[in-house]
Amino acid sequence: MTAVPAVPVPVSIPELAAPSVWPASAVLAPGGDVAVGGVPLTEIAERYGTPVYVLDEEEVRSRARAWRRALPDADIVYAAKAFVCRAVVDWMEEEGLGLDVCSAGELELAAGRGFPAERIVLHGNAKSPRDLRTALRFGVGRIVIDSDCEIARLAAQVPGPEAQQVMVRVLPGIEAGGHEKIRTGVEGQKFGLSIAGGDAEDAVARILGQPRLELTGLHSHLGSQITSPEPYAQTVRRVIAFMARIRDRYGIALPELDLGGGFAVSYLPGDPAPAPGAYGRRIQGELQRCCAEFDFPMPRLTVEPGRSITGPAGIALYRVLAVKRTGGRVFVAVDGGMSDNPRPALYGARYTVRMVGRSSSAPMRSTTVVGRHCEAGDVLTEAAELPEDVRPGDVLAVPASGAYQMSMASGYNMTGRPPVVAVASGRPRLLMRRETFDDHRARDVGL
């Protein structure tokens, strides 16, 4: 009798914790495995080794499209700091998004792929001379002024004859975000210029006096992991009121408003993560109301999603190195950690973890999953539900790993940053190779 190949079945909530934590393509596969983009995760672990990051290309693209549908008349600009490589730059260009970069390096990467410069926004609270030179050389669409000392410095470098278009990053004084270290819209921190304190208006006046700079609008970014549209609506109200004041005082109605990003994704089952449409409806509705109230012409809107596009599309795969039972707790140590994911150590982020590639009938137990590095704070999650018989050699999958992990990865302990593999239509494709000791040695020239 000819064997009939096993067919993966659709994910259900009891089997994979919560569909929103995993890419839409995730399905159960034989032997306790999970397939994403038509590729079993254990196949990727075996082929590319662990740790390894998996990125579902269609999930990235569909999330980019969702933002375009949510705000069809706005500019959707992908925040490259979440995660960027050549393939992601290409995907964003093909899906019609702009690109938000924070350094000459990110800008060089985008330019090397032929990304349209006019769709690039340069950010940064402390732009280096190289950052500014590179932005002017490529002719980026917008440079966001983040401090008053940038104004004259930038104006002096603009070659002309055309003025460089700029925005001013303002602080609306609104507290939003998942942790104090990722809240950037409040007073008294390094980003932006205060509306309430008068710094933003002073910057506007100075820019208007610079013939080589063209002020096109205002920019605001509240923070990260913002789980409600309301802070954005509050920001719209405060910033439009400020734009109306600028019009009345300086006779110019700024035509653009950039609300930044920070839109939340689910890391654990039940985490609130509104769809792009929910943010879009609230933002657009409040913008219309405020413009009518202040008799202000509707500005061109920009938003900068990053995490909400790539975060849920990524999965980190680790292999268990050790299991330790002590003090009434179970510690499972894996072959990665804070070198490829510093978020738990930086601001207490926690993740869903699932064993893949082996079925187990053992009872589930709350387990602390830790990394391999020489830091007590190298903890991936405190309460992962894993089978009691988890053992060295098992593969653990961590969904929602596509943002702010590889982009913030380090060379700690010279372990080497993991590779990134894209999956689509049943095929894996290497996007970024594993960093090796030879890479570290090549940088060490102090002989």
The helix/strand count (H/E) of the chain reads as 13, 22
Q: Which of 85, 102, 149, 374 is catalytic?
A: 374
* Sheet with 27-29: strands ordered across: 9-10, 27-29, 33-36, 39-40
Token pair in block for residue 20: 């929103």
Q: What angle do CA 162, 157, 103 make, to 5 degrees?
A: 100
**H runs (alpha helix) in 294-365:** 307-310, 343-347
Write the CB contacts of 306 (distance below 8 Å, at least 6 apart in sequence).
Answer: 78, 79, 80, 81, 82, 83, 100, 261, 403
* DSSP string for residues in 169-221: EEE-----SSSGGGB-SSSSSSSSEESTTSHHHHHHHHHHT-TTEEEEEEE--
Distance CA 279, CA 274 (A): 7
Token pair in block for residue 22: 């995993």
Distance CA 300, CA 98 (A): 14
Concerning whether 102 is annotated as a catalytic residue, the answer is no
C-alpha dihedral sign at 148, 152, 153, 157: positive
Longest Cα separation, the chain: 85
Active site residues: 374
